[in-house]
Homo-oligomer: A and B are copies of this chain.
C-alpha cells in the first residue's frame, strides 16, 4: 500500500478551510483568525503535514538555499570558514548546498550553472578567484555572491577577509626585528592573488621598510601539504634563509618536520611563522607561531552579509576586513 504523501489539500479538507488559509498559517501570514490558526495547526500536527519545499520554491521563486563553493573540505581552513557559514545560515533558516571545486579541472562554470539551476538564493565562494567568465554568468542571473576568505582584485564582488598584506607585513617585520636578513616566503601557487599579490606585497613592504633587498630566490612556491613542506625544506635551507613566513599550516608543518629531522633547532637556528592557526599549530612540536585569521567569523560575517544582499537590504560596505591577530608560540623567538 503506497502511503500517500500529505499535501496542503489534505490539511485544508481536514481543517475545513481552503488551502490558501493553510498556506497562510504555514507562512505566518497575519490575516488568519487566531481560532482558525489553532485549528489548522492542530490538523497539521495530526496529519503530520510537512510542506513541500520544492513546490514552495517553485511558487515563491525562493529556495531558502544557498550554494557554497570551496576547494577542499578536508582543509581546515575551509572547514572553519564553512562552519561559520553554516551556523549563521541555519540561524537564518537557509540550507547549504556544498560543492567542492577541483580548481585544476576547470569545471567551475558547470558547478556554477548547476547551483544556479537549483535556484539558490545566494552564493558563497571560497575559491582562489572568480574568473571573468563566472562573473559574467553570475551577473546575468542576479544571484548575490560573497567571497569568504578571499579577495576580489577590483572590489566588484562583496568579500570578507582580513588585511593579508598588513598581516604579513607585521610578521615579517617581527622576523626582521629578530635579526633575520634572509627570510623565505613560502607560499602556494603565486597565481592565487592572496599569496601572489597581497601576502607577497606585505612581505616586500616589510623588507623595504628595513632596507633589505627583495630576492626572488627566497620566494618558494609549493602545494599546500605536509609532503610538499617536507620536500621543500632543503631548498629553503640552501637559499641561506634563516627564517620563513609560510602561507599555510600543513606546508609549515612539513617544513618543520624536515627541519627537525635535519637537526636544525627551531626557533634558535631557524624561525617559522605560519598563517592559519588551525589546530595543527598546537600539536606540532615546537608549536607553530601563526597569524590568526578569525576564520569562523569570516564565514559567519560572509553569510550574514549574504543574507542582507538576499533581502535587498542596504549594504554599507562591499568588502569587510576583520581584525586578525598574531599568536606567538614556539617556532619563533
Q: Which residues of A contact B (CB under 8 A)?
A: 3, 48, 50-55, 57-58, 63, 65, 68, 72-74, 76, 79-80, 82-83, 86, 90, 95-100, 113-114, 116-119, 140, 142, 226, 250, 253, 256-257, 260, 279-280, 282-285
CB pair B284–A283 under 8 Å, yes or no, is yes
Assuming the contacts A79-B74, A98-B96, A118-B95, asked whether A285 and B284 have C-beta atoms less than 8 A apart, the reply is yes
The smallest beta-carbon distance between A143 and chain B, in angstroms, is 11
Instruction: Point out the residue from B51, B86, B96, B250 that lies within 8 Å of A117, measured CB to CB.
Output: B51
CB pair A282–B226 under 8 Å, yes or no, is yes
The smallest beta-carbon distance between A104 and chain B, in angstroms, is 14
Instruction: Point out the residue from B52, B74, B140, B226 that lies within 8 Å of A76, measured CB to CB.
Output: B74
Instruction: Point out the residue from B53, B90, B279 that lies within 8 Å of A119, measured CB to CB.
Output: B53
Which residues on B sit within 8 Å (CB–CB) of A284? 283-285
23 cross-chain CB contacts under 8 A: A3-B140, A48-B140, A53-B118, A54-B54, A54-B58, A54-B118, A58-B58, A65-B118, A72-B83, A73-B73, A73-B79, A74-B82, A79-B79, A82-B98, A86-B98, A96-B99, A97-B97, A97-B98, A98-B98, A226-B279, A256-B283, A280-B280, A284-B284
The smallest beta-carbon distance between A169 and chain B, in angstroms, is 27
CB pair B279–A260 under 8 Å, yes or no, is no
Residue of B nearest to A256 (CB): B283
Which residues on B sit within 8 Å (CB–CB) of A114? 95
CA distance A140 to B285 in the complex (A): 52
CA distance A118 to B116 in the complex (A): 16
CA distance A265 to B95 in the complex (A): 48
CA distance A191 to B260 in the complex (A): 41
CA distance A119 to B118 in the complex (A): 13
Residue of B nearest to A119 (CB): B54
Which residues on B sit within 8 Å (CB–CB) of A48? 140
Residue of B nearest to A95 (CB): B97
Which residues on B sit within 8 Å (CB–CB) of A282? 226, 253, 257
CA distance A142 to B3 in the complex (A): 9
CA distance A116 to B142 in the complex (A): 28
Residue of B nearest to A229 (CB): B283
Assuming the contacts A65-B97, A73-B86, asked whether A116 and B250 have C-beta atoms less than 8 A apart, the reply is no
Which residues on B sit within 8 Å (CB–CB) of A113? 50
CB pair A55–B58 under 8 Å, yes or no, is yes
CB pair A260–B283 under 8 Å, yes or no, is no
